[in-house]
Amino acid sequence: MTLSNNPRTRRRRLGVAAAAAGLLAALITAGPAGATPDPGDNPASPERVSQSEVRDAKRAIANGEIPGQDEIVHSDNIEHLANIPKDALPGTNSDLAFQGKYAFAGNYDGFRIFDISNPKAPKTVSQVLCPGSQNDISVSGNLLFLSTDSSRSDNSCASTSQSATNKDSWEGMKVFDISDKRNPKYVSAVETACGSHTHTLVPDRKNVYVYVSSYSPLAAFPDCQPPHDGISVIKVPKKAPQNAAVVGFPVLFPGEGPDGGGNPGGPTNPGVSKTTGCHDITVLPSKDLAAGACMGDGILFSIKDPERPKVIDRVQDNVNFAFWHSATFNQGAKKIVFTDELGGGGSATCNAEVGPNRGANGIYDIVGRGDKSKLEFRSYFKIPRHQASTENCVAHNGSVIPVRGKDLMVQAWYQGGISVWDFTNSSRPKEIGYFERGPISTTTLVGGGSWSAYYYNGYIYSNDMAKGFDVLKLNDRRTDPAKKVRLHELNVQTQPDYFDDDRDDDRWDD
């Protein structure tokens, strides 16, 4: 275990506009033209920024406006307990899942299992080499699910990159048996159209359904054909995971023509991603609901029949949202926080030039009941701390902090760090805590920072793309009640109902 050489607490001042100016043209992108999702199988080489921006960043560090290179700063209510650097898996760290005393950390080269029974000293239990971006991860009982969203030569963990124009190429979902955490075993694989960028588990009595989100089809890709306006649904028998199979492809954006019925993107809506599938889906099984972040659209849909989800409402923001990335319900299912991954996670967007309403969260209230429910926009939230032009920073993965009567969330912002914020008042969200490192480089735009930051059983866990696995402790009277809430399992995109009595709410009766 290693801790920062300088883990001091310091309150940050907002950087001046000159120090914060970023170049939106400097993107780290992967995939077909027009797609700017998370970094791909082989992220682009770091890009140098202008000399004036280098001087501005160094001046901002000298003036205390941003942390120094790799320096750790945080608010008074957050304590940095541990950092575990990357080890045998050198690729980009990605998402997290939890079960009992274990944390499961995705990596573009495979996954890693930590024993977190002592949060101050996590221990590596096992590391599994199984390349295939982005290795989005979740767990259910003795099963672990791993997404592959890059075209591979076959479905094995020894596969190599292979063009998606080749019909024999493979992308999709891998399933592992983790009954022995020290020796996970690969048990099955299911190929899905356009691969699996992310996935979401929908629990059932005898089965686990997996909603597979993927996008960016191309006529030249035999297994990823346009319009690709829906999601793949995999049915996994709990007692026979080797029989996992796709059981449907529900269309969420019906429409005439080769492009389907989603957001057309540019040039109709300049700067907005064309909807060719979903990036991420969060389900709330206790309410039979799901929220989809689908490139150019945000949707609310019913999962009463998990094999045949039904869209209830759909929203767009063609002014400030470039790429609908993820979604989080508040407790009670009265609000949804959608995130906009402007620049695909590879750009410096947390600055004065971009402003507070782009690359931010959009908070929507859910009004009405059942199938007549509607999403109504209330406000944006973005971290108030400007970052250097060499720091990729934008809204990314986070989770609810379970406190009755409050809407609190912890969230990753790549090199913007980790933010704890309050959206109890949908129209006036505010940050109440933060943790961040200074820029990885002061001369080059390098991808890094926290990919996922989640609250689990009293602590915040973060998977930093470059720096490794972090554990934080939050001490604040506003969030302290959450320490009493304990879960056996947490996949954030399968959002739990933290308080049993909330299940009596008949809000979703038709």
Burial code of 479-510, b = ≥16 C-beta within 10 A, e = fewer?
beebbebeeebbbbbbbbbbeeeeeeeeebee
Q: What are phi and psi of 51, to 5 degrees?
A: -60, -35
- Collapsing DSSP to helix, strand or coil, 175 comes out as strand
Q: Give me 148's structure tokens.
A: 């592959």
Q: Does residue 2 sit within a domain?
A: no
Q: To the nearest 5 percent, what fractions of the chain are helix, strand and coil?
A: 10, 40, 55
Contacts of residue 23, Cβ cutoff 8 Å, sequence gap at least 6? 49, 50, 53, 347, 348, 389, 445
Q: Which pLDDT score, from 0 to 100, does residue 422 have?
A: 98
Q: Give me 323's structure tokens.
A: 């790429």
Q: Does residue 3 sit within a domain?
A: no
- The total of other beta-carbon atoms located within 10 Å of residue 186's CB is 16
Pairing of strands 207-213, 459-464: unpaired
The C-alpha atoms of residue 59 and residue 65 are separated, in whole angstroms, by 9
The C-alpha atoms of residue 495 and residue 200 are separated, in whole angstroms, by 10
Q: Note the pTM of the prediction, 2 decimals.
A: 0.91
Rg over CA atoms, the chain:
21
Q: Tell me the residue ranges of DSSP E strands in 295-438.
A: 297-302, 310-315, 324-329, 335-340, 361-367, 374-381, 398-401, 408-412, 418-422, 430-437
Q: Give me 359's structure tokens.
A: 């690359």
Q: Does residue 338 sit within a domain?
A: yes
Q: Which pLDDT score, from 0 to 100, does residue 38 have?
A: 40
Q: Give me 423's structure tokens.
A: 């959206």
- The total of other beta-carbon atoms located within 10 Å of residue 179's CB is 11
**N-to-C CA span, the chain:** 52
Q: What are phi and psi of 287, to 5 degrees?
A: -110, 5
For residue 429, whether the previous peptide bond is cis, meaning omega lies within 30 degrees of 0, is: no
How far apart, in Å, are the Cα atoms of 45 and each of 388, 443, 444? Answer: 19, 14, 10
Q: Give me 324's structure tokens.
A: 């609908």
Q: Which pLDDT score, from 0 to 100, does residue 41 have?
A: 39
Residues 373, 312 contacting (CB under 8 angstroms): yes
Q: Does residue 384 sit within a domain?
A: yes
Task: Please report, for the domain that includes residue 209, its CATH number.
Answer: 2.130.10.10
Residues 238, 260 contacting (CB under 8 angstroms): no
H-type alpha helices, 279-410:
none
Residues 87, 120 contacting (CB under 8 angstroms): no
| Helices and strands of the chain, counted as H and E runs | 2, 32
Q: Which pLDDT score, from 0 to 100, does residue 328 have?
A: 98
Q: Does residue 307 sit within a domain?
A: yes
For residue 163, the enclosing domain spans 17-504
Q: Does residue 69 sit within a domain?
A: yes
Q: Which pLDDT score, from 0 to 100, does residue 1 have?
A: 35
Q: What are phi and psi of 89, to 5 degrees?
A: -110, 100
In tens digits, what is the pLDDT along the chain, a chain of 510 residues? 333 333 334 455 443 333 333 323 222 222 222 233 444 334 456 788 888 888 888 888 898 889 999 999 999 999 999 999 999 999 999 999 999 999 999 999 999 999 999 999 999 999 999 998 899 999 999 999 999 999 999 999 999 999 999 999 999 999 999 999 999 999 999 999 999 999 999 999 899 999 999 999 999 999 999 999 999 999 999 999 999 999 999 999 998 777 889 999 999 999 999 999 999 999 999 999 999 999 999 999 999 999 999 999 999 999 999 999 999 999 989 999 999 999 999 999 999 999 999 999 999 999 999 999 999 999 999 999 999 999 999 999 999 999 999 999 999 999 999 999 999 999 999 999 999 999 999 999 999 999 999 999 999 999 999 999 999 999 999 999 999 999 999 999 999 999 864 433 333 333
Q: Does residue 355 sit within a domain?
A: yes
Number of domains comprising the chain: 1
Q: Does residue 8 sit within a domain?
A: no
Contacts of residue 405, Cβ cutoff 8 Å, sequence gap at least 6? 424
Contacts of residue 319, Cβ cutoff 8 Å, sequence gap at least 6? none
How far apart, in Å, are the Cα atoms of 180 and each of 121, 177, 343, 450, 455? Answer: 21, 8, 40, 28, 25
- Collapsing DSSP to helix, strand or coil, 7 comes out as coil
Decide: residue 91, CB within 10 A, 0-12 exposed, 13-18 middle, 19+ buried: buried
Residues 444, 433 contacting (CB under 8 angstroms): no
Q: Which pLDDT score, from 0 to 100, does residue 45 have?
A: 62
Nearest-CA neighbor of 2 among 470, 360, 418, 472?
470
